[in-house]
Amino acid sequence: MFTKYKDYIIREFSSFGFNVEFEERAEVKHSKIESAFIKANTFDQMILIEVPGKMMSDLRKNNLITIKLKVDTNSPAGFSTEMKYLFSPVQYAVRMYSTPSLFAGKMHAVMFRKWKTRVKGRDWYDFAWYVSNYPRLDLRHLEERIRQSGDYTDDSPLTKELFSEMLTGCIDKLDGGSAKAEVRQCL
């Protein structure tokens, strides 16, 4: 999917003076999620955008900036969108999932991510951010997501009460120490 956009993406970054590499990555397991990475040498790019010297001293010469792109080619229905207007580096508008629909996607990950016995602490970190900043959840979109993944097969709609029970069950089973350890690896 990304292959047809590769040259455009590299050219767009180049127009702002960034020298990047583009790498499309096949998912390990069969998935409807397509992934790609944009990579650049951190040191070179930080000089280009004139990062203060103090921050520069913390960088190693060969560190990479990596941007991960992920596209769900089979996104479930029920989401809402909104327009965002950005003014830097150039003025443009983009249609994106609304924050409550994004929160629904994160809740699906928190509650049903298939990581065997491991915990993805970053999901719980993001959960805390959403609850603190944008606590409104798109319950309809969450229901569509968990039905699509096969994690909810009941004929009745997902209610706030049932969602609350399901979330409480996830929190009760959460290994907080493993979640913290996984987040620390990212810092």
Asked if 21 and 7 count as a contact pair (C-beta separation under 8 A), the reply is: no
Sequence-ordered alpha helix ranges (H) in 39-120? 42-48, 53-56, 99-112
117 plus 42 within the same structural domain: no
Residue 130 — pLDDT band, cuts 50, 70, 90? very high
User: Residue 79 falls within a domain, yes or no?
Assistant: no
Q: State how far the Cα of 141 lies from the Cα of 132, in Å rounded to an integer.
A: 20
70 plus 102 within the same structural domain: no
Q: So what's the pLDDT on residue 171?
A: 93
Asked if 66 and 23 count as a contact pair (C-beta separation under 8 A), the reply is: no
Q: So what's the pLDDT on residue 131?
A: 95
CA dihedral 9, 15, 18, 21 (to 10 degrees): 30
Please identify, among 20, 41, 74, the residue that sits at the C-terminal boundary of a domain: 74
Four-residue CA torsion sign, 160, 162, 163, 164? positive
Q: Which of 19-23, 68-72, 97-101, 175-179 has the highest mean predicted lDDT (pLDDT)?
A: 97-101
- Among the listed residues 149, 105, 143, the one whose alpha carbon sits nearest the alpha carbon of residue 127: 105
69 plus 113 within the same structural domain: no
69 plus 103 within the same structural domain: no
User: Residue 89 falls within a domain, yes or no?
Assistant: no
Q: Which of 38-47, 79-88, 108-117, 161-170 has the lowest mean pLDDT?
A: 38-47
61 plus 114 within the same structural domain: no
User: Residue 92 falls within a domain, yes or no?
Assistant: no
Please tell me the total count of domains within the chain. 2
User: Residue 172 falls within a domain, yes or no?
Assistant: yes
Mean pLDDT of 148-163: 95
Residue 103 has pLDDT above 90, yes or no: yes
Q: Which of 47-51, 66-70, 88-92 has the lowest mean pLDDT?
A: 47-51
Q: So what's the pLDDT on residue 60?
A: 57
57 plus 124 within the same structural domain: no
User: Residue 93 falls within a domain, yes or no?
Assistant: no
66 plus 106 within the same structural domain: no
CA distances from 59 to 19, 67, 68, 178 (A): 18, 17, 20, 28
110 plus 40 within the same structural domain: no
Structure pTM? 0.77
Q: So what's the pLDDT on residue 77?
A: 92
Mean pLDDT of 120-136: 92
- What's the chain's length in residues? 187
69 plus 127 within the same structural domain: no
User: Residue 84 falls within a domain, yes or no?
Assistant: no
Q: So what's the pLDDT on residue 178?
A: 86
- Which residues constitute the domain of residue 125? 98-184
Please identify, among 74, 90, 116, the residue that sits at the C-terminal boundary of a domain: 74
Q: So what's the pLDDT on residue 113?
A: 87
Tell me how far the alpha carbon of residue 139 is from its chain's centroid.
Answer: 19
60 plus 114 within the same structural domain: no
Give the chain's mean pLDDT.
85
Mean pLDDT of 180-184: 84
